[in-house]
Amino acid sequence: MYLFKLLAICLLYHTCRAKEEDILEFGDSDFDSRLAEHETALVMFYAPWCGHCKRLKPEYAKAAEDLIRNDPPVALVKVDCTEAGKETCNKNSVSGYPTLKIFEVVNFHKNIMVHEEAAGIVKYMKAQVGPSSKELKTAKCLEKFLDAEKESALVGFFEKESDLKAAFLKVANKLREKVRFAHTSYEELLTKQGINVKYEGKADSDDISKFITKSFHGLAGHRKPDNKQDFENPVVIAYYNVDYVKNPKGKVNFAVSSKDEFQNELNEYGLDYVKGDKPVVVARDAKGQKFILKDEFSVEALEVFVNDVLDGNLEPYLKSEPIPESQNEPVKVAVAKNFDEVVVNNGKDTLIEFYAPWCGHCKKLAPAYDELAEKLKNEDIAIVKMDATANDVPPTFDVRGFPTLYWAPRDSKDTPIRYEGGREADDFLKYIAKHATEELKGYDRKGNPKSEKTEL
């Protein structure tokens, strides 16, 4: 009999004091030599002025304190691309900040997604070292494996080599960055096993993956910074200071998140720090619109809230700056509350920049963007900007960094085109002249100024 089980471990909060000294700092003079001293290292290439880097820094320090004690250990390194590490950053093709790369003793390196929380960095890096599935030989090994991380794990129990074991190990290789895997064929563990959730499907890796997806978070999963992408819309979230709560699951997903871990997300719903023991409940519908349970939490209030969200009976919450009193400048200002008016229903081809006030690249772009708007102020073209940190961005515009620019033709605003061209005024002008729905009055399709006609 071949069994493996999903073991739901009690979810506990781990707090530790981050130590800045646990992060190593290399430069051009010692990067290669010092990196060679570590079997596995995660390197953050950064710029001191970068807002994303500043927010990541304390989480990176927390992760360093954890990973330095890992078996095998992982070194966390930082390189300043504006000073002592300029040449190193160029050599490693660093084009934006922060850039994180994994380096191993065999000199292999690769980019990784920037995790915003220490837990995400730690989990990702631990998945990169050692086998994808740990072999367990004693009950003590199993206990240590389960206690090492306070989260779900997948354990395979196999009496002998089999197609099921091969499929299990294939899934482990595929999902090692998301799930912790272990397996055993030792008699002591086969006879003492206790099954929480038992797989009874075929020896097929796709079926095993589906089983994991379905079972991993239970009826109401513990939503954390490193797994929040697993909870797809429509979803109802209770921000609450408990470890784990189960709720009936039906038409929508349910999740429980820590108030403290997700304070930044609560701010996206206009909620400042919330005291007290009552959960704060929010939801997103299938369109990604946001809703807040305004009544005091109770089972009855939650049921009414969920049904109202599903039936479309509630006004969605929109994070927005105030609508500008005037729009006299060539570059128009969009906020969430006037986005449809300024961008979607303006009857014009539109170039829109999504920016952050602290972004260095955005500040560098501003003069060229203003120059472009001045050149096109008499054209039927809208040049628009929006602070994406202070306003909800419509889901049709995928903004993951700053600045992000989109070209939105007047008759197809539902399918905007990401602008990937140069960022000088003439670069923008040539692009707009070529792609405008109608030819510009003052420029030909190549962006050259039209000569004035002399009246006879």
Q: Is the CB of residue 217 less than 8 Å from the CB of residue 253?
A: no
Asked if the bond preceding 72 is cis, omega within 30° of 0, the reply is yes
Rg of the chain in Å (alpha carbons): 27
Three-class DSSP category at 25: strand
Which residue intervals of 159-202 are DSSP H helices?
163-175, 187-192
Q: Rounded to 10 degrees, what is the CA torsion of 367, 369, 371, 373?
A: -150
Cα-based distances in Å from 31 to 43, 65, 79, 80, 128 = 10, 21, 9, 11, 21
Residue 297: φ, ψ to 5°: -65, 135
End-to-end CA distance of the chain: 98
51-67 and 118-128 helices, crossing angle to 10°: 50
- The C-alpha atoms of residue 212 and residue 48 are separated, in whole angstroms, by 41
Three-class DSSP category at 41: strand
E-only strand ranges, 121-252: 133-135, 153-157, 180-184, 220-222, 235-239
- The C-alpha atoms of residue 59 and residue 6 are separated, in whole angstroms, by 29
Q: Is the CB of residue 6 less than 8 Å from the CB of residue 146?
A: no
* The two three-digit tokens of residue 168, written as one number: 């299990």
Cα-based distances in Å from 82 to 28, 49, 94, 99, 418 = 11, 9, 12, 13, 29
The amino acid sitting at 82 is T
Q: How many CA atoms lie within 13 A of 260 on its CB side?
A: 8
Q: Rounded to 10 degrees, what is the CA torsion of 439, 441, 442, 448?
A: 20
Active site residues: 50, 53, 359, 362
CA angle 358, 364, 368 (to 5 degrees): 130
Asked if the bond preceding 234 is cis, omega within 30° of 0, the reply is yes
DSSP 362-391: HHHHHHHHHHHHHHTTTSSEEEEEEETTTS
